[in-house]
């Protein structure tokens, strides 16, 4: 039984919550941890605490939803007509419902973790699967227990696939909820030093992410980065014999032979278990192409070959602030292209960005590079290694933002600011007509303020542009000048 009434929820959770009996047979349409898009017969888990959070309860009720809360003020609420359900622990009832839904669901559950690419792979995979089936997936970047359990609660009779982005930001943050997920397919991407500071050792970080392997159901499938697989081998990690392992990387089961960033479509040549295939996506960067390989590896288990993949992937659109491309008419006679890749940042994602930008042919490239957060004790050393990357030579100006980069040695082309607000005040000194401006940083550095500044101050903003249009205009201008 996957479609639940409130009485079902009462029995499954073994709770003693009180509710007006006239609502017992109301079937819950949607479970949510947010008040946005709620409607009648939805169930809102009020997980926030504090006086201000009570406003969310009022909003949910006005939309006709039921509310489960642990706020003491609702402990003795009158039953007559009330849609507020008091429970001692919202987390416990959410956990019990998630466990129940997973126990009775016999479809495919895909769990994705790693340091780079989780959200993008989840987004592409769920989008393609949703074209022909009902898919439940984690919303936005909700990859901790709260978002994972809520997604599982939303499994219903129509659901065929569940796609979950699962994050790890400390001991137990993945290894605990992944046991409830019990995936049929686990995707383990490259592991780098993100969130290193939240673990006693690097080994603890690796093993936490590897908990996605041990949680696999019997005869489950593991799609894993070859680099990560070798890390685990070096640490003597043993993968169960019943698990079917598919590795991706140089010399692996699936090898990436060549990336081709084209004017309308980007392609990647792949050796897929010895067979040469070409995967295609709309314009993207190198990271998008690598993500597409992982997505195809999953879809192949569901009978989707590379021909079907190429047809379906043509509808793919990346998540916001993942290599967003805009043309900004900032002032009269000052127009430039903006690439916003500042949702998150790590050594691996910066390398991918620099390689993707290298092929661009524009008159000037400018990089705004913010700190990479949560890298642990070696953070300054890792930031310094980024500044010594030869691919930075393609930029005429490099603006560094954050306290960590301020501690590093810099070249003459680099200017440092402690925060984005300090930089915005002098931005006019750094941009020029026809330039390519690239943003990259961890989300906590707040480079979104810079994007918001342009959206507010610009004469015109054209979003989702073809990223080679500026190159063609520049090359045409260069040829005319030569003639």
* Per-domain residue ranges of the chain: 6-96, 105-314, 324-466
**What is the Cα–Cα distance from 438 to 367, expressed in whole angstroms?**
5
pLDDT at 472 over 50: no
User: Please, which pLDDT band fits residue 79 given cuts at 50, 70 and 90?
Assistant: low
Sign of CA dihedral 312, 315, 319, 321: positive
Greatest mean pLDDT range, 8-22, 124-138, 261-275, 364-378: 124-138
Angle at 23 between CA 18 and CA 24, to 5 degrees: 75
Other Cβ atoms within 10 Å of 180 Cβ, number:
18
Residue 389 three-state SS: coil
Which of the residue ranges 11-25, 162-176, 265-279 would you say has the lowest mean pLDDT?
11-25
Mean pLDDT of 368-380: 87
| Residue 27 region by backbone torsions, left for phi larger than 0, else alpha for psi between -120 and 50, else beta | beta
Mean pLDDT of the chain: 88
Phi, psi angles (nearest 5°) of residue 109:
-120, 120
Highest mean pLDDT among 101-105, 260-264, 314-318, 474-478: 101-105
pLDDT of residue 318: 65
Residue 38, pLDDT score: 93
Domains 6-96 and 105-314 share a fold: no
The CATH number that domain 6-96 falls under is: 3.40.1390.10
**Range name among 265-269, 317-321, 393-397 with the lowest pLDDT average:** 317-321
Would you state the pLDDT for residue 153? 96
- Find the range with the poorest average confidence among 17-21, 271-275, 337-341: 17-21
Residue 462: how many other CB atoms lie within 10 Å: 14
Separation of alpha carbons 161 and 137, rounded Å: 8
pLDDT at 321 over 60: no
Q: What is the pLDDT of residue 32?
A: 94
Q: On the CB side of 65, how many CA atoms lie within 13 Å of its CA?
A: 25
Region 192-219: what's the mean pLDDT?
86
Residue 465 has pLDDT above 70, yes or no: no
As a whole number of angstroms, the distance between CA 135 and CA 163 comes to 7
Fold of the domain spanning 324-466: 3.90.190
pLDDT at 470 over 80: no
Question: Residue 396 — very low, low, confident or very high, per pLDDT cuts 50/70/90?
Answer: very high
Q: So what's the pLDDT on residue 197? A: 66
What is the band of 312 on the pLDDT scale with cuts at 50, 70, 90? Answer: confident
Domain 105-314 CATH (choose: 3.40.1190.10, 1.20.120.420, 2.40.50.140, 3.40.190.10): 3.40.1190.10
pLDDT band at 194 (very low <50, low <70, confident <90, very high): low
**First and final C-alpha spacing in the chain:** 74
Confidence check: pLDDT of 242 > 90: yes
């Amino acid at each position: 039984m996957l479609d639940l009434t409130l009485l079902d929820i009462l029995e499954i959770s073994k709770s003693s919550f009180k509710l007006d009996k006239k609502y017992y047979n109301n079937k819950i349409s949607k479970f949510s941890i947010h008040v946005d898009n709620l409607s009648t017969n939805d169930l809102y888990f009020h997980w926030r605490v504090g006086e201000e959070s009570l406003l969310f309860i009022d909003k949910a009720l006005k939309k006709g939803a039921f509310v489960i809360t642990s706020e003491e003020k609702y402990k003795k609420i009158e039953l007559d007509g009330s849609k507020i359900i008091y429970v001692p622990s919202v987390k416990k009832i959410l956990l019990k419902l998630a466990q129940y839904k997973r126990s009775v669901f016999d479809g495919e559950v895909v769990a994705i973790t790693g340091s780079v690419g989780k959200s993008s792979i989840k987004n592409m995979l769920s989008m393609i699967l949703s074209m022909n089936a009902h898919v439940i997936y984690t919303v936005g970047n909700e990859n901790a227990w709260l978002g994972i359990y809520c997604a599982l609660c939303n499994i219903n009779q129509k659901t065929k696939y569940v796609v979950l982005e699962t994050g790890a930001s400390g001991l137990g943050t993945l290894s605990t909820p992944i046991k409830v997920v019990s995936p049929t397919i686990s995707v383990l991407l490259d592991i780098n030093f993100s969130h290193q500071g939240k673990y006693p050792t690097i080994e603890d970080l690796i093993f936490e992410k590897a908990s996605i392997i041990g949680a696999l159901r019997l005869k489950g499938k593991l799609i894993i980065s070859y680099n990560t697989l070798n890390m685990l081998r070096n640490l003597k990690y043993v993968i169960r014999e019943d698990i079917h392992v598919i590795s991706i990387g140089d010399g692996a089961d699936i090898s990436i032979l060549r990336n081709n960033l084209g004017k309308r479509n980007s392609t990647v040549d792949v050796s897929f278990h010895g067979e040469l295939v070409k995967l295609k996506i709309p314009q993207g960067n190198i990271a998008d192409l690598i993500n597409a390989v992982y997505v195809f590896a999953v879809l192949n288990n569901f009978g989707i070959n590379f021909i079907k993949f190429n047809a379906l992937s043509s509808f793919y659109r990346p998540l916001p602030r993942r290599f967003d491309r805009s043309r900004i008419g900032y002032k009269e006679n000052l127009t430039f292209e903006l690439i916003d890749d500042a949702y998150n940042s790590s050594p691996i994602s910066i390398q991918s960005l620099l390689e993707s930008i290298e092929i661009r042919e524009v008159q000037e490239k400018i990089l705004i590079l913010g700190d990479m957060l949560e890298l642990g004790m070696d953070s300054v050393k890792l930031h310094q290694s980024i500044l010594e990357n030869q691919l930075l030579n393609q930029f005429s100006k490099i603006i560094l933002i954050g306290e960590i980069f301020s501690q590093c040695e810099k070249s003459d082309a680099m200017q440092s600011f402690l925060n984005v607000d300090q930089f915005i005040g002098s931005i006019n000194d750094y941009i020029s007509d026809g330039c390519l401006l690239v943003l990259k940083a961890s989300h906590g550095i707040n480079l979104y303020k810079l994007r918001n500044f342009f959206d507010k101050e610009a004469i015109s903003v054209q979003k989702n542009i073809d990223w080679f249009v500026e190159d063609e205009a520049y090359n045409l201008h260069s040829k005319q000048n030569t003639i």
